[in-house]
């Protein structure tokens, strides 16, 4: 499964239960994010574990995008048996500042950093 434009690419690998977000996500609000949110909802509802959210290629995320990813984390949190791993990149400064918030939503979430 893949959603791709000139600015970003979201793709899901069911074998590893990993969703990759790459590029720049700055859509204008929840309505525009709906196709991506639906893909994430589907992944959360499958209740496979662990779910991996790979953001190592996500250079930019606006606040509506932060809201969308946090909704995904909360949906996964509601599936009590599912664990979650978020992969971030130390070379992308916004991630160092903001990814910790996902962990505050779901304390059992593991944050993994590349170097």
Partner 1 sequence: MTQIFGDYCEGEPNSPEFLIIGFSPSSVPLKQRWRNNGLSADFMADYLTTFFLGNEENPASMRRQAEIKSAVGFVANELLENAMKFTDERSAFPISIQLQLHPNYLMFFTTNSVEPERIASFQTYLEELTSCDPEDMYVRQLEKNALEENGTSSRLGYLTMMSDYMARLGWKFETVQKDPEVIAVTTMVQLPV
* DSSP reduced 3-state for 108: coil
The two tokens of residue 92 are: 């992308």
Q: Which residues pair with 113 in a beta bridge?
A: 88
94 within 8 A of 62, measured Cβ to Cβ: no
Nearer CB in complex with partner 1: 22/64 = 64
Nearer CB in complex with partner 1: 16/45 = 45
Nearer CB in complex with partner 1: 14/31 = 31
Residues in contact with 14: Cβ distance below 8 Å, sequence separation at least 6, in sequence order: 1
Bond from prior residue into 50 cis (ω within 30 degrees of 0): yes
Quote the least distance from Cβ 74 to partner 1, whole Å: 4
Quote the least distance from Cβ 60 to partner 1, whole Å: 7
CA dist., res. 56 & res. 54, Å (int): 6
Quote the least distance from Cβ 12 to partner 1, whole Å: 21
Quote the least distance from Cβ 31 to partner 1, whole Å: 8
Binding site for partner 1 (CB under 8 A): 24, 26, 28-31, 60, 62-64, 66-67, 70-71, 74-75, 91-94, 97-98, 101, 104-105
């Amino acid at each position: 499964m893949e959603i791709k434009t000139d600015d970003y690419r979201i793709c899901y690998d069911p074998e590893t239960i990993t969703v990759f977000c790459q590029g720049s996500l700055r859509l204008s609000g929840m309505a525009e994010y709906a196709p991506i949110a639906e893909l994430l909802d589907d992944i959360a509802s499958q209740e496979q574990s662990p779910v991996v959210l790979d953001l190592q290629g996500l250079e930019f995320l606006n606040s509506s995008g932060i809201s969308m990813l946090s909704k995904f984390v909360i949906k996964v949190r509601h599936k009590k048996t599912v664990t979650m791993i978020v992969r971030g990149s130390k070379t992308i400064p916004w991630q160092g500042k903001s990814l910790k918030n996902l962990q505050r939503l779901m304390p059992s979430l593991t944050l993994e950093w590349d170097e």
